[in-house]
Amino acid sequence: MNWFIDTISTSIGKKLLMAVTGLGFCMFLLIHMIGNLTLYGGKDLFMAYVEHLHALSPLILAAEIGLVFFACVHVATGLILFLENRRARPVGYAVKKNAGGRTFGSATMPYTGFIILCFLILHLINFRFIEQTPDAIFQAVSGTLSDVSFKIIYIAAVFVVALHVRHGFWSLFQTLGANHLKYMPMIQAIGIAFALLALAGFGLIPIVIGFIA
Amino acid sequence: MSAKRINLTLKVWRQSAGEIIGSLKTYSASDISTDMSFLEMLDVVNENLIKNGEDPIAFDHDCREGICGMCGSVVNGRAHGHESNTTLCQLHMRHFSDGDTIVIEPWRAKPFKVIKDLVVDRSALDELIQAGGFISVNAGGAPDANAIPIARETAEAAFNAAACIGCGACIAACPNASAMLFVGAKVSHLSLLPQGKPEAKKRARQMVRKMKELGFGNCSNEAECEAECPKGISIREIARLNREFIKAEFS
C-alpha cells in the first residue's frame, strides 16, 4: 500500500480523492433527491418510500458507512488542500482581479464546503438521529420544515449545495482528465442543470411542506 | 490612428532586495505616447528617476516581442495586464486612458522570491523542467526528418502545448499559486510526441512531485491561468497531465 499513500499524497493525488468522493456525493445527492420527490406526492407516498427504504436496511447501512468514509476523506483532503494553497502565496497582491476563469462558485468552494458540513450535522440531528419509523420521520419533516427559521436554513443550505455542485461537477471531470472540446461543454451544461435540479427538487420542499401536511 | 499623449499615476512595488520589506510607491508618468509599449513607458519613468538621482525600477525583459517569456508583472490585478493573449511587452499604452492609476506588482508565489522590485526568481520553473520536462537523446547521426511519422493533428496539439514561454503568469494569476498549467503544457507537449513517450510515466510522476517540493499550490480548476496565459494555453493540457499522471501511477 506504500505506493498508494505516496500517490494520494501528491497534489494531483489529493485532487483525485476530492473528485472520486465528490462524484460519490453527486450520485448520492441525485438518489436522495429522487427519494425526496415522493414528498410532493403526499404523505402516503412518502411513508411508503420510507418503508421501502428501511426494508433495505443492510444496504442502507453499507451506504451510510461508505458516505461517512467519503465525507471524512473529502473534508480532510479539502482542508489540507485549502491550507496548502494558502501557504503557497505568503505575500498577496495589493490589487487582484479575476481574469474571467473564476466564478463565484469556484472561489467559494472551501467556504461552501464548510457550510455544507455544518448543515449536514444539523440535517442528521433533525432527521437521522430520531426514531426511525415512517410516521415519526414524516412528523419530523413536516414539523421541522414548518418552522420559519428552519425553512430559511434549509432553503439557504440548498442554495449553497447548488453552488458547490455548480463548480464541483465539471471540476471533478477535469481532475479525472475528462476534458475535451467535444464533450466538456456537455459536462458543463449537465453540471449547471444538475445544480438547478437539486435547487428546485430540494429547495421547494420547505415551501410546499405546509400543503403536504 | 495617431498617437495621443497621456499622463498616468503609477503605484509600483519597490523592494531593494529580497530580504528587505517592500512597499508600493507612487510615481507620475507624464507625457506618455499611446504608441509606447508598457515596458517603454517604464523606460521613460526610469530615465526620469535616473536623472533625479533615484534608483530606477527593476523589471525583467528581453525580446520585447512577446516570445521570450522574460517580462511580466501584475498590472492592476491582472498578470501581464488586462489584454488577453498578450505579454506585458506587447501591452500598449493605448489600452490606458489619461489620468489612470496603474498598480504594478511582481508575480506572487512562495517559490518566486522577489530579487528586486518587479524582478522575481523563477528558477523554480527550471527545477520543474529538470525534474522531467525533457527527452533523453542518445546523440549520434541526425535521424531523417521523416523517419518518425507524426500525424499533423498530433503535431498541432503538441505545438499548442509547446507554445508555453515559461513566463510564470499562470502561477501569478492562480488563486492558489499552482504550477499545473506550466507542468501540464510541458507534459502534454512531450507525451503527445513519439520522442517523449518512453519517459512519459517518469516525467509525469517526477514533475508533479517536484511541484509540491518547491511549494507551489494545488490546482482547484478555477481556470484563471488559462484566461491569463499570453499564449492561450488551455486547461485541457492540465486534464491531459491528470490523465498522464493517473496512467503513470496506477499502471
Task: Kindly give the pairing relationship between strand B101-105 and strand B5-14.
Answer: parallel
ipTM over 0.90: yes
Please give the class, per CATH, of domain A10-91+107-212: mainly alpha
B-facing residues of A in 41-80 (CB < 8 A) are: none
Q: Give the residue carrying C-alpha cell 499513500.
A: A5
Residues of B in contact with A12 (CB under 8 A): 208, 241-242, 245-246
Closest Cα of chain A to B146: distance in Å?
29
Per-residue pLDDT tens over the stretch A38-54: 999 999 999 999 999 99
Instruction: Look at residue B142 in the predicted model and tell me its pLDDT.
Output: 84
How far off is chain B from A171, nearest CA to CA, in Å?
A: 6
pLDDT per residue, tens digit, chain B (251 aa), is 678 999 999 999 999 998 899 999 999 999 999 999 999 999 999 999 999 999 999 999 999 999 999 999 999 999 999 999 999 999 999 999 999 999 999 999 999 999 999 999 999 999 999 999 999 987 888 888 888 999 999 999 999 999 999 999 999 999 999 999 999 999 999 999 999 999 999 999 999 999 999 999 999 999 999 999 999 999 999 999 999 999 999 98
Low-confidence ranges of chain A (pLDDT < 50): none
Q: Which three cell numbers stand for residue A124?
A: 442528521
| Burial zone of A118 (CB within 10 Å; 0-12 exposed, 13-18 middle, 19+ buried) | exposed
Domains and CATH numbers, chain B: 5-105 (3.10.20.30), 123-249 (1.10.1060.10)
Domains of chain A by residue range: 10-91+107-212
Q: Which residue of A has its CA nearest to B81?
A: A99
Per-residue confidence (pLDDT) for residue B149, from 0 to 100: 92
Question: Which set of grid coordinates corresponds to residue A112?
Answer: 461552501
pLDDT at B2: 73
Q: State whether residue B7 is helix, strand or coil.
A: strand
Indicate yes or no: CB of A97 within 8 angstroms of CB of B77. Answer: yes
Q: Which of A100, A106, A176 sits opposite B242 (nearest CB)?
A: A176
Contact B82, B76 (CB under 8 A): yes
Instruction: Identify which of A97, A31, A87 has the alpha carbon closest to the alpha carbon of residue B218.
Output: A87
DSSP-derived secondary structure letter, B65: S
Number of other residues whose CB lies within 10 A of the CB of residue A176:
17
Buried b (16+ CB within 10 A) or exposed e, B210-245: bbbebbbbbbbbbbbbbbbbbbebbbbbbbbbbbbb
